[in-house]
Structure 1
Amino acid sequence: MRAIVQDEYGPPHRLTLGEVPVPAPGAEEVLVRVHAAGVDYGVWHLMTGLPLVGRLGFGLRRPRNRVPGMDVAGTVEAVGPHVTAFRPGDEVYGEATGAYAQFALARPGRLARKPAGLSFTEAAAIPTSGVTALRAVGRVTAGDRVMVIGAGGGVGSFATQLAAAGGAHVTAVCSTAKADLVRSLGAQAVIDYTREPLTGTYDLIIDIAGRRPLALLRGLLAERGRLVLVGGEGGGRWFGGLGRLPAAQVISLFSRQHLEPLLSLTRAADLDTLRGHIEAGAVRPAVGRTYALADAPTAIADLAAGNAPGKLVITVDSVEPGSTGDGKDDEDGTETGTPRP
């Protein structure tokens, strides 16, 4: 099968399009025919091997998984003998291992039914960013004042919508180029951080992949407000942007303000919750750009540059149900169920 392959850590040009065997599902695994895959900062960290502390989990000298990619949307091709939640032909979305390929393996607990009415491309934009935003926003009530820093990106676009759907007054912080997008997602106020300082007082601040000092953010937070720190971009090679997290936890012990580092995992229950919001019309994926599988290195470079609005998605086998995924329908209009490269 065609796949993006990485044999050593480094910049995007180290990624190549190659041929690898179709993986076989284990007893508790699902083989997904990938139609689209999302691009997020987790992929960037796994590609670069930064921060270095992360290599304890994903490989000391080289990536443990040769094929990158996590967010996936596609159809179930085959299931292990212990899997009962899914069967071949089901349309699913969630988290997989090696999503930048024609086929990828996933755990049933990391998959859910694809939201009705969404294309595979739209569905692939949801899992990591949507679940992270869901956890970050938590429970908001009508009238809550919420600031989303990084509102024009993947996590931020979902956080803005979820907070607005909960009745909060949302102030979105983004660049000039993304201002129209965040307004269309429900932000009542926009701060262009390239032109103006952060001002106001908020019950909830969601700082996405930022490095702003905790003292500055606490100055914007209400006395009993909540600050959620998402991701850890930038910073030094060893710990990256994670340096604020221990300090945030210590401050929370002695303050009425709650500072919460957020490292979320994609779970089926959260994907089901997001599907409910999407099918109710309260949330929509903000897909900024799409790329062919061979252009995955460009997609990751664009993400790191921070210029692309919304979520970036790689299309792999863009097919509708009833297609074999290689551009030719079977004679009876159904899938054969046999993986083909």
Structure 2
Amino acid sequence: MIPTHIDCWQMTEPGTLTQTRVPMPALQAGEALVEVRGCGVCHTDISYFYMGVPTEHKPPLTLGHEISGVVVAGPANLIGKEVIVPAVMPCNECEICKSGRANRCLSQKMPGNSLGIYGGFASHIPVPAADLCIVGDRGGVPLEHLSVVADAVTTPYQAGVRGRISPGDRVVVVGAAGGVGSFMTQVAKGMGATTVIGIDVNEDKLKTMLNYGADFTINPRGKTNKEVKEAIKAYCKEQNIPSNYGWKIFEVTGVKAGQELALSLLSFVGTLVIVGYGTDETSYMLSRLMAFDAELIGTWGCSPHAYPKVLEMCLDGRIELGAFVETRPMSQIQQVFEAAHHGKLAKRVILTPDFN
């Protein structure tokens, strides 16, 4: 039975959350109604809420874009299916989409930003049905855990595609133990990189990454960029691999120090992919790109067509979710936001609806 309303937590203005109910909308042609089972808390949500980063749809607005759930209304072939809702849903018709870059469609819809008032911190969400990722046999992996596939895992995958990670590649991940960086590290290894160096200031989490894709780790706290480079050089000498060319670097922190470190590591025929979002400006002598014959690439979201491939990696063990996520009731959203804002979360939190 379809409810007459949607329960949700709305950002009525930046810094203020309110539990409320909104009328259940009439589904438009091509839409599906998903009953939310889990919604991950992303740094982007925190940026909207605390930092005043503008949303396309102005508040009041339900945030949340890492969503898994069950289709309860819409196309007959989807009713009852467990699905992941893509964080970026393109129009699939424009020139950008048809060129194969649908992840950066200028007419894209994003839950918790540009999909009207609707987001994942709710009981239900109406979404375009065409790009939903059907889960199928999830082999015991909780459906709630799969919510983070939408963004936390697919964004690193898209970064890997943009960086053309291939078997045998050598990779550095700056921010390797963070909420997205921990998956970037796993994705790099899962896509075939033979050497993955993880860099992060969180020592405990960094050590954990040695069990999840990282072959060598460096904590840059208290070190100059030159000293980090020397540590990489020493490891490469030990492993008899080149240290000064061909590396693919993924910057996931979004902070100035991480970006400057990543830029300093870029060398001959190397590639630097910018994954993390931040507002600080940094400087770089662009002529070095010319001299190195190197590439500097930006990446955004992930095209829905890639979601099944990423889901497969999560279900076949190449990417571990359980060790990096935890579930909490959605009624704790304000406490979770506060903890996330102050960097006090050990794992990526997935909120599960518990509306009365």
Query: Is the TM-score greater than 0.5?
Result: yes
Please list, as runs of the form range in 1=range in 2, the aligned pairs for 1:87-166 lying within 5 A after superposition. 87-95=78-86, 96=111, 97-114=118-135, 116-117=138-139, 118-138=141-161, 139-165=164-190, 166=192
Partner of 1:338: none
The letter for the 1-side match of 2:271 is: R
Query: Would you say the 8 A contact 1:6–1:15 is kept in 2?
Result: yes
Partner of 1:169: 195
Task: Determine if the alignment matches structure 1 residue 25 to structure 2 residue 69.
Answer: no
Partner of 2:12: 7
Distance 1:315 1:130 in 2: 19
Query: Would you say the 8 A contact 2:123–2:353 is kept in 1?
Result: yes
Change in Cα spacing, 1:309 to 1:137, as seen in structure 2 (3 Å) is farther
Residue 306 of structure 1: how far off its partner (Å): 2.7
Residue 311 of structure 1: how far off its partner (Å): 2.2
Query: Would you say the 8 A contact 1:140–1:168 is kept in 2?
Result: no
Change in Cα spacing, 1:23 to 1:48, as seen in structure 2 (3 Å) is farther
The letter for the 2-side match of 1:217 is: A
Seq. identity, %? 23
Task: Determine if the alignment matches structure 1 residue 230 to structure 2 residue 275.
Answer: yes
Change in Cα spacing, 1:249 to 1:261, as seen in structure 2 (3 Å) is farther
User: For 1:204, what is the secondary structure of its paired residue?
Assistant: strand
The size of the alignment, in residue pairs, is: 296
Task: Determine if the alignment matches structure 1 residue 75 to structure 2 residue 74.
Answer: no
The letter for the 1-side match of 2:306 is: D
Unaligned runs of 5+ in 1: 234-239, 318-325, 327-340
Query: Would you say the 8 A contact 2:170–2:193 is kept in 1?
Result: no
The letter for the 1-side match of 2:311 is: R
> Considering only aligned residues, what root-mean-square deviation do their CA atoms show, in Å?
2.8
Change in Cα spacing, 1:291 to 1:3, as seen in structure 2 (3 Å) is same
Residue 75 of structure 1: how far off its partner (Å): 0.2
The two structures have a TM-score, normalised by structure 2, of 0.74
The letter for the 1-side match of 2:220 is: Y
2:308 to 267, 272, 283: 272
User: For 1:31, what is the secondary structure of its paired residue?
Assistant: strand
Change in Cα spacing, 1:136 to 1:2, as seen in structure 2 (3 Å) is same
Change in Cα spacing, 1:179 to 1:195, as seen in structure 2 (3 Å) is farther
1:283 to 306, 319, 325: 319
Partner of 1:335: none
Unaligned runs of 5+ in 2: 1-5, 87-110, 112-117, 233-242
Change in Cα spacing, 1:221 to 1:250, as seen in structure 2 (3 Å) is closer
Q: Higher mean Cα deviation, 19-28 or 124-133? A: 19-28
Partner of 1:221: 266
Q: Higher mean Cα deviation, 197-206 or 23-32? A: 197-206
Query: Would you say the 8 A contact 1:38–1:72 is kept in 2?
Result: yes
Change in Cα spacing, 1:309 to 1:23, as seen in structure 2 (3 Å) is farther
Task: Determine if the alignment matches structure 1 residue 207 to structure 2 residue 207.
Answer: no
Residue 254 of structure 1: how far off its partner (Å): 7.3
Change in Cα spacing, 1:107 to 1:252, as seen in structure 2 (3 Å) is farther
The letter for the 2-side match of 1:212 is: A
Question: Which gives a bigger RCO, structure 1 or 2 (Cα 8 Å, sep 6+)?
Answer: 1
Distance 1:312 1:249 in 2: 39
The letter for the 2-side match of 1:158 is: F
